[in-house]
Chains A and B, each alone.
Chain A
Amino acid sequence: MAKFAFLFIDDGVDYQGAPTPEQQKVYADIFKWFETNGDKITDGGAELQPTRTATTIRKRSGKAAVLDGPFIEAKESVGGFSVFELPSKDAAVALAKTWPGYGIEIRPVGDHMEAQ
């Protein structure tokens, strides 16, 4: 078994704002998906507020600058994450394909930063 982080991709649908009935159905399906696959989750992670709530801390100048907005302005952003324990990368891809939302970036995780 191996651990995979699922980075849920936000394609700009504001589920916390005023979603359309169609988007509300997707959101309900997402809840069901988490219920169905809950036994494979090792770190529930979080659903993130939209990118307009983001703050980015930049340290390049040697002094930390605090800026409003996400680290990159793009059509797609990180909308949340969860960690799954699965037999293989193929199993991770198969599970990701059942995601009712838009998309997922799958990334194996390292072992250094386990919360204690």
Chain B
Amino acid sequence: MAQYVLMLLEDEDWVQKQTKEEKERAYAGINKWWEDLNRQGIVKGGEELQPKHTATTVRRQNGTMNVTEGPFIESKEHVGGFLMVDVPDLDAAIAIAKSWPGGDVEVRPIVVH
């Protein structure tokens, strides 16, 4: 078995275009997907992040830690949540990413210490 992190990506343009009804339907789909995964026992952790305007970034610059408002990268797309799964291989992680009812997903193996 191997552990992968699925970064659930959020596209702000897409989110803004959704009607209230569409958003509710999306959330219902996400909740069901999440319950199914939990039932299978392959989820090792996960978090939904608050929208990117709530982000604060701390960065080392010239030896001191500088605090700035906003996410570390300014782009249309950002990380909206995480999910850690324990699955046989990358293909299995990709299959879960494909089944995610939300948007795009970045899959990354984790470092095992």
On A, residues with C-beta under 8 Å from B are 3, 5, 7, 9, 16, 43-49, 51, 53-60, 64, 66, 70-72, 74, 76, 78, 80-81, 83, 89, 92-93, 96-97, 99, 101-116
Q: Contacting A57 at CB < 8 Å: which of B47, B83, B98?
A: B98
How many A-B Cβ pairs are below 8 Å? 155
Instruction: Check if B65 sits within 8 Å of A99, measured CB to CB.
Output: yes
Q: Write out the residue numbers on chain B whose beta carbons fall within 8 Å of the beta carbon of A103.
A: 57-60, 65, 72
C-alpha gap A103/B73 in the complex (Å): 12
On B, residues with C-beta under 8 Å from A are 3, 5, 7, 9, 27, 30-31, 34, 38, 43-50, 52, 54-60, 65, 67, 71-73, 75, 77, 79, 81-84, 90, 93-94, 97-98, 103-111, 113
